[in-house]
Amino acid sequence: MSTTEATEASRAEIFDSICKLLSPFNYSGIELRPDTDISADLNIDSVTVMDFVMEVEDHFDIEIPLNVLSETRTMSDLVTVVEAGIRRSRLA
């Protein structure tokens, strides 16, 4: 398996995990796609987004500072942030 494939596989896994973690906050049952805007499309407020991200942090045992979060809009953005977090924690 090439490096690219491995990365893609883990992106898909991260996406699936995030979908599971997001389901209790997805009150209107919106279908989650990479380009779904977590706050706007799911109609959840900023505090709920922060609460959801705490679940993501604990699941992956990473830290996602609020500054990073403020620039994270879509599911795909969040996958990228989690990937970076996992990479950092492996280096540490």
Binding site for another protein (CB under 8 A): 45-48, 50-51, 54, 61-63, 65-67, 89, 92
The nearest distance, CB 67 to another protein, in angstroms, is 6
The nearest distance, CB 90 to another protein, in angstroms, is 13
- Residues in CB range of 26: below 8 A, 6 or more apart: 32, 42
Residue closer to another protein by CB (options 5, 45) is: 45
Which letter does DSSP use for residue 74 in this model?
A: B
The nearest distance, CB 78 to another protein, in angstroms, is 16
Backbone phi, psi, residue 36, to 5°: -65, 130
List the beta bridge partners of residue 74: 37
